[in-house]
Amino acid sequence: MRRRPAVAFVLVTLFLDILGVGLIIPILPRLIEELTGGDVSGASRVFGLLAALYSLMQFLFAPALGSLSDRFGRRPILLISLLGSGLDYLLLAWAPTLGWFFLGRAVSGISGASITTASAYIADVTPPERRAQNFGLIGATFGLGFIAGPALGGMLGDIGLRLPFLVAAGLTLVNWLYGLWVLPESLAPAHRRRFSWPRANPVGALTALKRYPVVLGLTATFFLLHLAQACVHSTWVLYTGHRYHWTVGETGISLAIVGASALLVQGGLVRVIIPKLGEPRGILVGLSIGTLAMLGYGLATRGWMIYAILVAGSLGGIAGPSAQGLISKRVPPNEQGAVQGALSSLASVAGIIGPPVATGLFGHFVRPDAVIYLPGAAFFLASALMFTAMLLAARVLKRDLETGRPTPPLPTSSTDARS
């Protein structure tokens, strides 16, 4: 099997997935505003529902696509997802009404759920001693895609609001054609298993958390962190365009800076900061910085202030990896997959709840008849969520912080261990 080309293809596929998402982030709210007759308040609510629909489809279909790849192999699932994404971008490029946009975002969410299959492909073709290295490349790939996507989408959007969809479609379909020729199957028939609805049920990933009461407080912190981030992501373009009159291009540049800062912090500084602070303090420091950054976004009176807050606030990115790393130490080694799957599901649930709530707040407080004009309301909510997460984490980790010694990892569960 040609492992290097296979891994490269999967990484390029993941890059194009996040690139495609980044391409349309700067222009989608403006396009919706056009379709709703220029009503900013109404457009914000529609955008929130579209963002929630995307996360809902990922939540529902990620386990199913993973189980289907266990039954039929990784190659067909990856290629079908790629083809679906490419055709979906074409649909969105010419969608004449909002109804077509809702259909398109549903398809996008289903196609984007193939990340579980891509991760399984990399595990199939990579020796155990090199898997951590290749899984690290997935994070770097996402960071690069989110740098390039919004910047390119902003530039293309200044030319035409539909152009980014066409570019995303072209890149994705070319990669699909390339995959038809070069992508080998990674899962041998002897290692396949029957499709099971219980394994494909997304609720199962969440109910699995009941088996790990020691991590419930930390997973609640993790959920609140992702909920706050979902509030910010879903209102960023709406807020900066309304309050600072940023163009599509300026919005794209700001999002590229977000991606670059995240890549720098989570791809590099995390390895230096967390070993010195330890995970418990890393969580609290990261959430403290995040709380202040969200508050700063909502209070900033000039657009240039946002860039300063972006750079300083990016250090809050140590909270997520710290929480995830500490959670992984609180469960037995042979149950890591179940807990990580539950964390992924919680992030999807946050993506379902956060956008409609945040965009609804934004729309309410920028209406001409609003009693209080408060365009930064969603950012104040995000700040409150992060502050609550910090208080919860401080309570859960009180003993760790007092003793300076984290709870040792649990031994392998004898009930679930397999020889």
Domain boundaries defined on the chain = 1-180, 205-405
Q: What is the pLDDT along the chain (419 residues), one digit of tens a residue?
A: 444 557 777 888 788 778 877 887 788 888 888 887 767 777 888 888 888 898 888 888 877 777 777 778 888 888 888 899 899 999 989 888 888 989 998 998 888 766 767 777 776 776 765 554 566 567 667 778 878 888 888 888 888 888 989 998 998 898 888 888 878 777 777 767 676 666 556 676 566 666 665 577 788 888 999 899 999 988 998 899 999 999 888 888 888 888 888 778 876 787 788 888 888 888 999 999 999 999 999 999 999 999 999 989 989 888 887 887 777 677 665 455 556 656 777 888 888 899 999 999 999 999 988 889 999 999 999 999 999 999 999 988 887 676 655 444 444 444 444 43
- CA atoms within 13 Å, Cβ hemisphere of 334: 9
Q: How far apart are CA 272 and CA 285, in angstroms?
A: 14
Is the CB of residue 63 less than 8 Å from the CB of residue 201? yes
Please give the CATH number for the structural domain made up of 1-180: 1.20.1250.20
At residue 149, the pLDDT reads 84
Other beta carbons less than 10 A from residue 403's beta carbon: 9
Sequence length of the chain is: 419
Residue 97 buriedness (CB in 10 A; 0-12 / 13-18 / 19+) = exposed
pLDDT at residue 412 in the model: 45
CATH topology of domain 205-405: Growth Hormone; Chain: A; (1.20.1250)
Q: What is the pLDDT of residue 364?
A: 92
Residue 416's pLDDT is 41
- Predicted pLDDT of residue 81: 87
pLDDT of residue 272: 82
Residue 49: the pLDDT is 87
